[in-house]
Structure 1
Amino acid sequence: MTVQTPAPKPAITDREDIAKRLLRSSAKASYDPLVEIDWDAPIDKERYALKPERISLYGTELWDRLSEEQRKELSRHEVASIASIGLWFETILMQMLVRHAYDRDPTTNHVQYAYTEIADECRHSVMFAKMTQKLAGRHYRPDFITHNLGRVFKAISNGPLTFAGALYVEEILDQLQREAMVDDTLDPLVQAVSRIHVVEEARHMRYAREELIRDWDDHGRISKAYSRFILGLVVYFATTRLISPEVYKSVGLDPREAAKAARRNHHHIDTKTWAARKVVATFDKAGLLAGPAKYVWRRAGLLGRPGAPAAIAR
């Protein structure tokens, strides 16, 4: 009989050592978006803000109906919607990091890096807010249920939920922005915002990844089951709200019809699977993807379509 060897746990370093290195990196490479980005420059409406293949309606009948000008306009609103969700979750994350630091020794590198990340997230929130205003002239606030579930989540989160939730949202944004920042066909503002966010979020993801894995093993079976379930809900609502139905009004489409088409669009599902592939692998290896929670991840379109190639990168 062949016995399968369990997948090795992700390696982690000493908490104080990694925090010291992250603090050093922050001192060398941190940015003030208000200074680094030319906010007075006009949006280039001849360019897309997002690769066409990543737009939620790409490849659908509704996409075929749109003119090239409308497609570019939709790309700007979709980026604004994604940034709005990012801003919403960063606000939640800042509160959870404050709670994480509250009971810990502020003289440690670990807590001092938590404070540093909070400062980074404050700047990112301003940056995202200014970008959404420039691209779409508005903020795409999450729907009432999602907005108030955010209140609940930040109140009941434990250590694994704080860092798993942060890692998930940061990884999704990171994948999209790594692609955007090197694509010179896209709007310069989107590229500039992406570059800043990618550099600083790399540190945040390292911090969250190692703290999650370190903390996860200290929890018992019931706590782990609870964390998997709540994380599944957070992931589902954050992912399915990335593109607000309201964005479709910008190009004269019916929000309900367009949102339905996007949910069924295999190109859109494949993009979500691609964007989540790294964090899915991390969570799977750590043991966070198991039981009923896995069904929720699949419903969110993060584990791929049946028969589709895994983690398609177009």
Structure 2
Amino acid sequence: MASSTARAGAGTGTRGTGVAGRLLDSSAKLSYDPLTEVDWDTPLDKDFHGASPEWSTLFGTAYWNELTDAQRKELTRQEAASVASTGIWFEMILQQLILRDIYAKDPGDETVQWALTEIADECRHSIMFARGARKLGAPAYRPRRAAVELGRAFKTLAFGEAAYAAILVAEEVLDVMQRDWMRDERVVPFVRTINNIHVVEESRHMKFARDETRKRLAGAGRVRRRIHALVIAVAAHVIVTSMVSRDVYANAGLDPERALAEARDNEHHKAMLRSSCSGLMEFLASAGLLTKPALAFYRRAHLI
């Protein structure tokens, strides 16, 4: 695992007692530089998986049982690279949402300073994910065109609790699976390091997203709350269903049509997604964001 590297500079002493101030202090004490913390130089060892096998979209299917050990490992490497590529796509959306939110606000405010710190984290994460996917021997996976265009609209129009709760959804789903991967000795070491870095730094981002969601909802009326509940659910559906590209199967040397069909009906993978989102769903319910229309999209994405 990577060792911690504090990026503390001038003026990083104890800050205010608010969430943003505490997160700034935490970031100064424990952050990472992926360019030096991750082992980029050692050649890829194909005796390792790219992700915990249990998180594969085919794990538990008849097709998985027919695959050789080498094929399973190649599939998990391609799937891990696809998740990383989707992470980059959403991190770019996230950065624009936050920049729009803090535009023209007081840069001396701790909330604005934390938001800029989070954007800096996401820039490093995107580079880290891109280099990791390339080292796994994968192409640059992209979401389908419809998802890309929906993302373009979302990053332009979303605001308040819709923006921050959608950020939380993406980060929470990744967090649970990556906690499994970073502890799994079957996963190639450099991917475990990448996951460790992301989990540590994203834990601060999730605290901020939860806090901002609560704050924005405090001033939201019933109609706005219901509309945003649906927007968040649609965003969650698009994000989760875009994580593993349909192209991973062909790139792993599998029959893509059969793999897609079995992945689509894989109850094990659906159960893994639901378990990863239990805490998230409790939070959304407590915030009044699990309306009937929203629940329909969460069920379609197998998040509840």
TM-score (norm 1): 0.89
Q: Distance in 2 between matches of 1:252 and 1:212?
A: 43
Task: Say whether the 8 Å CA contact 2:78–2:252 is kept in structure 1.
Answer: no
Which structure 1 residue ranges, 4+ long, deviate > 4 Å from structure 2? none
Corresponding residue for 1:91? 92
Q: Distance in 2 between matches of 1:110 and 1:65?
A: 52
Q: Distance in 2 between matches of 1:235 and 1:185?
A: 29
**What's the CA shift for 1:94?**
0.4
Q: Distance in 2 between matches of 1:137 and 1:300?
A: 25
Task: Say whether the 8 Å CA contact 1:263–1:269 is kept in structure 2.
Answer: no
Q: Distance in 1 between matches of 2:258 and 2:146?
A: 21
Corresponding residue for 1:286? 287
3-state SS in 1 of match to 2:44 = coil
The percentage of aligned residue pairs carrying the same residue is: 44
Q: Distance in 1 between matches of 2:81 and 2:263?
A: 17
**What's the CA shift for 1:175?**
0.6
Task: Say whether the 8 Å CA contact 2:58–2:262 is kept in structure 1.
Answer: yes
Q: Distance in 2 between matches of 1:132 and 1:251?
A: 14
* Residues 246-268 of structure 1: per-residue CA shift (max 9 Å, x gap): 00012332323312211210011
Corresponding residue for 2:34? 33
Corresponding residue for 1:195? 196
Corresponding residue for 1:265? 266
The residue type paired with residue 185 of structure 1 is: R
Q: Answer yes or no: is 1:116 the counterpart of 2:117.
A: yes
* Residues 249-307 of structure 1: per-residue CA shift (max 9 Å, x gap): 1233232331221121001101111221221111111111112110110011111xxxx
Greater shift in the superposed pair: 197-206 or 252-261: 252-261
CA gap 1:16/1:106 in 2 versus in 1, 3 angstroms: farther
Task: Say whether the 8 Å CA contact 1:52–1:58 is kept in structure 2.
Answer: yes
Corresponding residue for 1:43? 44
* Residues 161-189 of structure 1: per-residue CA shift (max 9 Å, x gap): 11111111111111111111122221101
Q: Distance in 2 between matches of 1:43 and 1:36?
A: 16
Q: Distance in 2 between matches of 1:74 and 1:173?
A: 18
Q: Distance in 2 between matches of 1:137 and 1:292?
A: 37
Gaps of 5+ in 2: 1-15
Mapping for residues 218-237 of structure 1, pairs under 5 Å: 218-237=219-238
Q: Distance in 2 between matches of 1:52 and 1:99?
A: 39
* Residues 128-185 of structure 1: per-residue CA shift (max 9 Å, x gap): 0001111133111111110111100001101111111111111111111111112222
Corresponding residue for 1:10? none
3-state SS in 1 of match to 2:136 = helix
CA RMSD of aligned residues (A): 1.3
3-state SS in 1 of match to 2:39 = coil
Mapping for residues 146-225 of structure 1, pairs under 5 Å: 146-225=147-226
* Residues 223-267 of structure 1: per-residue CA shift (max 9 Å, x gap): 111111111111111111111110001233232331221121001
**What's the CA shift for 1:16?**
6.5
Task: Say whether the 8 Å CA contact 1:84–1:140 is kept in structure 2.
Answer: yes
**What's the CA shift for 1:214?**
1.3
Mapping for residues 273-312 of structure 1, pairs under 5 Å: 273-303=274-304
Greater shift in the superposed pair: 43-52 or 120-129: 43-52
Greater shift in the superposed pair: 292-301 or 15-24: 15-24
CA gap 1:243/1:137 in 2 versus in 1, 3 angstroms: closer
Q: Distance in 2 between matches of 1:197 and 1:170?
A: 10
3-state SS in 2 of match to 1:23 = helix
TM-score (norm 2): 0.92
Gaps of 5+ in 1: 1-14, 304-314
Q: Distance in 1 between matches of 2:105 and 2:228?
A: 22
**What's the CA shift for 1:51?**
1.6
